[in-house]
Structure 1
Amino acid sequence: MAAGPIPVGEGPQSKYRARQQPAAASCHYRYEHGEPLEDRSCTPGAVSPAVTQANIASTICRKGGYTGGIRPPASVTGKEKTANATSYGYTGPMNEAEYDHLVSLQLGGDPNDPRNLWVEPADPGHKAGAGVNNLKDPVETKLHTAVCNGKITLAQAQKAIVTDWTTALASLGLG
Structure 2
Amino acid sequence: MNAGIADTHRRGLSRDTTSSNDAANAPRLGRTRVLRPRVRITHRALLVTVGALLALRIGDAAAQASAVLDERVTQQSIGQTICRPGYAETVAPPFDELMAHKDRMLAARGIDADDVAAFALDRRVPVMLGGSPDAPANLDLLPWSGPQGERRKARAAATLKRCVCEGKLSLAQAQAVIVGNWSAVYAGFGQASCDVSRLEFATRDDDGVDSEDSRRGDAHARQR
What TM-score do the two structures reach when normalised by structure 1? 0.65
2:176 aligned with 1:159:
yes
Task: Give the distance between the partners of 2:177 and 2:185, measured in 1 at CA.
Answer: 5
Instruction: Give the secondary-structure state (helix, strand or coil) at the position aligned to 1:158.
Output: helix
Shift of 1:142: 0.5
Q: 1:122 aligns with which of 125, 144, 165?
A: 144
Which residue is equivalent to 1:4?
A: 61
Question: What do the CA deviations read for 1:104-162 (whole angstroms, capped 9, x no partner)?
Answer: 1100100011111112112239xxxxxx9621111000100011011111011111111
Cα RMSD (Å): 2.5
Structure 1: gaps (5+ residues): 10-45, 126-131
- Structure 2 portions without partners, runs of 5+: 1-59, 190-194, 200-224
User: Greater helix percent: which structure?
Assistant: 2
CA distance in 1, matches of 2:198, 2:87: 24
1: CA distance, partners of 2:129 / 2:97: 21
Identity rate, percent: 29
Q: Distance in 2 between matches of 1:74 and 1:53?
A: 28
Deviation of 1:95 (Å): 2.5
Contact 1:104 1:140 in 2 (8 A): yes
**Residue in structure 2 matched with residue 172 of structure 1 by the alignment:** 196
How far residue 102 of structure 1 moved from its aligned partner, in angstroms, is 1.3
- Alignment of 1:135 onto 2:159: no
> Matches of 2:111 and 2:196 in 1, distance apart?
31
**SS of 1:135's equivalent?**
helix
The question of whether the paired residues in 1 share the 8 Å contact of 2:122 and 2:150 is answered with no
Which amino acid letter does the alignment assign opposite residue 85 of structure 1? L
Q: Tell me which amino acid in the other structure corresponds to 2:65.
A: P
Q: TM-score under structure 2 normalisation?
A: 0.52
Task: Measure how far apart 1:96 and its partner are.
Answer: 2.5
C-alpha separation between the residues in 1 aligned to 2:109 and 2:197? 32
2:116 is equivalent to residue 94 of structure 1? yes
What amino acid sits opposite 1:67 in the alignment? Answer: A
User: Which structure would you say has the larger Rg?
Assistant: 2
Distance 2:126 2:133 in 1: 8
| 1:111 correspondence with 2:142 | no
Amino acid of the residue matched to residue 147 of structure 1?
Answer: V
SS at match of 1:54: coil
Cα pair 1:88 1:119 within 8 Å, conserved = no
TM-fit CA distance, 1:4: 3.0
Mapped partners of 1:150, 1:166: distance in 2: 22
Larger relative contact order, structure 1 or 2 (CA cutoff 8 Å, min sep 6)? 1
CA contact (8 A) 1:160 1:168 kept: no
Specify the SS of the correspondent of 1:173.
helix
Paired residues, number: 130
Please give the alpha-carbon distance, in whole angstroms, between the structure 2 residues aligned to 1:168 and 1:51: 24
TM-superposed CA distance for 1:84, in Å, is: 1.2
